[in-house]
Amino acid sequence: MSVCVEARALLRGRVMPVTLVIENGVVIESWFGNSCPPGYEKFSFTREGLVLLPGLIDLHVHLRGLNQSYKEDEYTGTAAAAAGGYTGVVDMPNTYPKINTLSTLRSKVKAYEDKALVNYGIHVGVPVERAYELLRSPVVMGLKIYPYDLYNAESVREASRAAGMLGKPVIVHCEHPAAIREGCRAGERWICRGLEAEKLCLREVQRLIDPQAHVHVTHATSPELVYGARSLGFTVDTCPHYFMLSSDDERKLGCLGKVNPPLRPRSIADKMLELVVDGGVDALVSDHAPHTVEEKNMGFDICPAGMTGLEAYSRIMLDLALRGLIRLELMVKLMSTGPARILGIRRYGCIENGCRANYTIINIKKGGVIRPCLFYSKAKYSPFEGYRHRGDIEATIVNGLPIYLDGELIPENRLPVPLGEWTCSLRRRLWVLDSETR
Ligand SMILES: [Zn+2]
């Protein structure tokens, strides 16, 4: 199928009119200026204020599904992603049942094939049954290590060895279980799960994870963890809630502010914001972790941790960019090219011949308000309810076709592909990561 997209693209700090001819999701011809030739289905994004960016990718989401489809499923989760401008998401394995066997991986892949609106991938969890075989699947983007997995040293060693051989990253939730306590009141969970837990975890990760494997530390909450991880050659991401919110918000919001790792005191959150703005992290993720409203309404001690982010965070980051707090190019790096590099995905969202035609079109003239009741996600709540943002997501183009346009989903345009089909060879990927982190 051939389509033609006319838009104004952000290229090296300037907005330039471009025309892209796309066949089967790949750019086959592109030139400067807006001039789609006749004979193609044309999508025009040339209105003032619209800017085409490389497609956003979120490498850390929980779209639930399987036996937890009442919280979220592959359709509602990817619909939320599309509405947030994300062209690709990578799902986490702490589902029920867990994604660590070939049979659960197959059911999950089937659900994605049947329902996904955007490109997708899955990280598998330990202990992994037949690690090499499972990790080799093109749908599998990486291996996820949770705090309590650190007590399962042999499984972590074995699975990370397979990940290393296949050139897939090991994604670590870095809090050492020995330093985690429960029972802290709202506003004080940062004491129960202090920075010591992150420090101890780094030491253990260094000891347990196969040295061949690339380690990516996810949702870092403090500059100490970011610097520590980077000094070991790891890449690092964080979530907007770790710099937009603080433990004071946890006190006010109760369970809506409960997340793991916990929100930190304002002084640490401010330093995280500075670090992000200075380009000190490699990516931003949402850690979109939906639960039902009833679950989030339970008592603070027993309610499940997790925030929603797919429909709010790109808008909040765009707002920060348009208010001059972060460069738009840096936002693109943190939410598109950075995640693609960590995952080893090549030629994603660029505009030259051979590029995968995945784009996020923002509208810098528009604005809006975060309204969770309008979320496509099943989890219709957010700590950012009522947040007024400058700019908005105008369209999400997945493999050449708009799947989300001006507030509406277009499910009939769905052409999702496993992100792993576009990853590069091990040697090339390690070189890219190495040159980036040096
Ligand atoms: Zn998570």
CATH number (domain holding residue 248): 3.20.20.140
Calculate how far, in angstroms, residue 173's C-alpha sits from the geometric centre of ligand 1: 8
Calculate mean pLDDT across residues 72-92.
98
Calculate how far, in angstroms, residue 170's C-alpha sits from the geometric centre of ligand 1: 14
Q: Is residue 95 part of a domain?
A: yes
Q: What is the pLDDT of residues 387-419, one digit of tens each?
A: 999 999 999 999 999 999 999 999 999 999 999
Q: Is residue 404 part of a domain?
A: no
Instruction: Look up tokens 């347990």; give the residue.
Output: 208
The model carries a pTM of 0.95
Q: How confident is the model at residue 1 (pLDDT cuts 50, 70, 90)?
A: confident
Q: Are the C-beta atoms of 53 and 10 separated by less than 8 Å?
A: yes
Q: How confident is the model at residue 421 (pLDDT cuts 50, 70, 90)?
A: confident
The structure tokens listed for 144 are 């996820």
Is the pLDDT at 433 greater than 90? The verdict is no
CA contacts within 13 A on the Cβ side of 303 = 23
Q: Is residue 25 part of a domain?
A: no
Question: What pLDDT shows up at residue 299?
Answer: 94
How far is residue 94 CA from its own chain's centroid? 16
Q: Is residue 265 part of a domain?
A: yes
**Residues near ion ligand 1 (Cβ under 5 Å):** 287
Calculate how far, in angstroms, residue 146's C-alpha sits from the geometric centre of ligand 1: 9
Calculate how far, in angstroms, residue 286's C-alpha sits from the geometric centre of ligand 1: 8
Sign of the alpha-carbon dihedral angle for 235, 241, 246, 247: negative
Is the pLDDT at 428 greater than 90? The verdict is no
Q: Is residue 215 part of a domain?
A: yes
Burial class (CB in 10 A: 0-12, 13-18, 19+), 186: middle
Q: What is the pLDDT of residues 290-346, one digit of tens each?
A: 999 999 999 999 999 999 999 999 999 999 999 999 999 999 999 999 999 999 999
State the chain's mean pLDDT as an integer: 94
Q: What is the pLDDT of residues 169-206, one digit of tens each?
A: 999 999 999 999 988 999 999 999 999 999 999 999 99
Instruction: Look up tokens 């792993």; give the residue.
Output: 420
Report how many domains make up the chain: 1
Q: What is the pLDDT of residues 113-172, one digit of tens each?
A: 999 999 999 999 999 888 999 999 999 999 999 999 999 999 999 999 999 999 999 999
Q: How confident is the model at residue 12 (pLDDT cuts 50, 70, 90)?
A: confident
Calculate how far, in angstroms, residue 363's C-alpha sits from the geometric centre of ligand 1: 29
Question: What pLDDT shows up at residue 434?
Answer: 46
Calculate mean pLDDT across residues 259-263.
97
Calculate how far, in angstroms, residue 254's C-alpha sits from the geometric centre of ligand 1: 19
Calculate mean pLDDT across residues 351-358.
96
From 287, 301, 319, 392, the catalytic residue: 287
Question: What pLDDT shows up at residue 422?
Answer: 82
Active site residue 249: no
Per-residue CA distances from 418 to 55, 79, 109, 398 (Å): 15, 16, 9, 12
Calculate how far, in angstroms, residue 308's C-alpha sits from the geometric centre of ligand 1: 11
Calculate mean pLDDT across residues 12-16.
91
Q: Is residue 176 part of a domain?
A: yes
Q: Is residue 35 part of a domain?
A: no
Task: Map residue 322 onto helix, strand or coil.
Answer: helix
Backbone φ and ψ of 355, nearest 5°? -80, 145
Q: Is residue 162 part of a domain?
A: yes
Is the pLDDT at 267 greater than 80? The verdict is yes
List the domain range (segments joined by +) for residue 189.
55-349
